[in-house]
Structure 1
Amino acid sequence: MDAGAPLKPLRSAPTLETERLVLRHYQPDDWDAYYAIVADHSTMRFVGGRGSSREDAWRRWLASIGSWQIIGYGGWAVTRLEDGALIGTCGIFNAWRGIDGGFEPDPELGYIFAPEGRGKGLAFEATSAALAWLDAEHGVSIWAIIDDDNAPSRKLAGKLGFDYRGEKMYGDEPVGVWRRPAPRGG
């Protein structure tokens, strides 16, 4: 794949339903709930160390939405099936981070959940659905960057089939790098 070349461009995220969640394309009225999640310092402690500014959150949100049209994958709004409340975000993306020994152009997995969505297996449910979709549609390997102090995400990565590939430098900070191989035949 050429750097940044689309695999199968889509107009929007496909809707994925799990036992308790709906992963769907973002809508304009999701902005306030999304911003509340990523602005929270405790939620973002392993994603940049602090809550996002409104400006940075806006850019991240638009990139998550627009990636579908350019590279064929992007972010999903993660909502509770029972009431439709936005409780997190889950995405497959290219961040072009310039990590030492980087992994581009392969995609990266990321997810962020509001406090009420954590500790209930919802991240596993959402990321499993996203990875099943990626396997079926693209059949490529995928990476994840996980802070070494983030034990729950390290455990989740193992359950999802990611292998720890060691520490790499991202800017001035060391980060844990994980890889999940492409499915057989993919």
Structure 2
Amino acid sequence: MPPILTTERLILRAHTAADFPGCYTLWSDPDVTRFIGGRPSTPEEVWSRILRYIGHWQVLDYGYFVITDRESGTIIGEVGLADFHRDCDPPIDAPEAGWVLLPQYQGRGLAREALTALLTWADQTMPRTVCMIDPDNAPSLKLATALGYTEYARPTYKGEPTTLLERMVRNTPA
């Protein structure tokens, strides 16, 4: 069973079929997809995305969470870990972290809050995570760096330049 992670302002939980309308709102926004695929997603693509997320939990015991506002229950984004088997050199050889928020929720520290909860959970069993970020996505690069990710490669992915970053769990002395 996927965990439910809570923070001061957010609830992170596994996707359900009922999340389709909120997820479609998220992934059909051109500002959201600007650095992720470059175009808004179709309803069919969003439905496939939700099914892929559910499948991650079933097969890998990790996956993506829908991020909801703790007070209103509104879907504001997604955060999680995945293995997309990307055709990339060097290959991505650890769970890949990703995050996305609706534009009206950006700039409030919510992505950092969600990622901190995710990584605190992941650090219990995953010694290393990676992320792939468009080199022009300065806010995501800044957030990744603040959370301990460091660049390790600059490959191309689907013909476009990208940045690969990694984060190792730091062992703290007892």
TM-score by length of 1: 0.88
Partner SS for 1:43? helix
Unaligned stretches of 5+ in structure 2?
Answer: none
1:139 is displaced (CA, Å) by 2.7
Aligned pairs, number: 172
1:158 is displaced (CA, Å) by 0.6
* Aligned pairs (5 A) from 1:82-93: 82-93=71-82
Paired residue for 2:95?
107
1:116 to 2:91 alignment: no
Partner SS for 1:98? coil
Q: CA RMSD in A?
A: 1.3
Bigger mean CA deviation after superposition, 20-29 or 141-150: 20-29
Q: Which amino acid is 1:168 matched to?
A: P
TM-score by length of 2: 0.94
CA distance in 2, matches of 1:127, 1:97: 22
Partner SS for 1:161? coil
Paired residue for 1:78?
67
1:58 is displaced (CA, Å) by 1.3
Structure 1 segments of 4 or more deviating over 3 A?
none
- How much identity, in percent, do the aligned residues show? 38
Q: Which amino acid is 2:24 matched to?
A: Y
- Choose from 157, 166, 169 the match for 2:156: 169
Paired residue for 2:127?
140
CA distance in 2, matches of 1:23, 1:82: 13
1:30 to 2:5 alignment: no
Q: Deviations over 1:104-154 (max 9, x none)?
A: 2x1100111112221111000001100110011x13201101111111000
CA distance in 2, matches of 1:80, 1:129: 14
Q: Which amino acid is 2:65 matched to?
A: W
CA distance in 2, matches of 1:184, 1:170: 32
Q: Which amino acid is 1:123 matched to?
A: A
Unaligned stretches of 5+ in structure 1?
Answer: 1-10
Paired residue for 1:129?
117
Q: Which amino acid is 2:44 matched to?
A: E
